[in-house]
Amino acid sequence: MPTELPFSQACENNKDPILARLREIFDAPGTVLEVGTGTGQHAVHFARALPHLQWQPTDHPDAADLCCPRLEQASLPNILPVIELDVSTADWPVESFTWVFSANTAHIMAWHEVEQMFIHIGEHLPKSGAFCLYGPFNDRGQYSSDSNRQFDQYLRARAPHMGIRDLQNLCELADAAGLTLANNVAMPANNRLLVFQRMPLDCNH
């Protein structure tokens, strides 16, 4: 039964606003690497709405099974088998993709994992691709809302390696990986969709 599947209310709330943006970005046939598939709600919703895409779900080895019941129930032809992915490793088990999507992961990962994520994506993202990173972000150390401040305090109390990331720090990682912030889209509930693309060769950074 659908009610028995792993469920995230946040995914349910944000899936349509995110989809509206992804339609504009993932606008040609290709493979989307999803980093941190979680319950699988995003994977199913986006793959069903964007049948021109091949959706590659991944998650940490400790959590990769979480999405399987939902993906199996949906049985969509354009969702590939889930891959176990520990982003902290230098050698990822997947290197071929057109786009990357990741939601609400950067504040859960340790900082060195965020660094590795940008490094690997930078090495393999094609010129026509994009890396879409969704979640709450600070700007120059400032919270965008009181709710985000409270959420950050909750994360840091839960585990010292967690916390809302600062936009400038992420852009520094992107710059080092040969990527640049092409768009910073305001989303509901004080979240953002950051769109990173391959840095032009003549870009002076």
Which of 90-94, 103-107, 168-172 is least confident? 90-94
47-51, 133-137, 199-203: least confidently modelled range: 199-203
Average pLDDT for residues 122-145, to the nearest whole number? 97
Domain 2-198, what fold?
Answer: Rossmann fold (3.40.50)
Position 200 pLDDT exceeds 80: no
What is the pLDDT, as a whole number, of residue 204? Answer: 47
Which band of pLDDT confidence, cut at 50, 70 and 90, is reported for residue 72? Answer: very high
- Quote the pLDDT of residue 95: 87
Tell me which residue has tokens 């504009």. Answer: 24
Positive or negative torsion for Cα 86, 90, 91, 92: positive
Q: What is the pLDDT of residue 10?
A: 96
Query: Mean pLDDT, to the nearest integer, of 115-130?
Result: 97
User: 3-class DSSP state for residue 157?
Assistant: helix
**Beta-sheet strands, E only, within the chain:** 30-35, 53-59, 83-84, 99-103, 130-135, 137-138, 165-166, 179-187, 191-198
**Best CA proximity match to 55, nearest among 45, 66, 68, 65:** 45
What pLDDT, on a 0 to 100 scale, did the predictor assign at position 3? Answer: 56
Kindly report, residue by residue over 36-69, the tens digit of the pLDDT: 999 999 999 999 999 999 999 999 999 999 999 9
- pTM metric for this prediction: 0.96
Cα–Cα distance, 34 to 26 (Å, whole number): 13
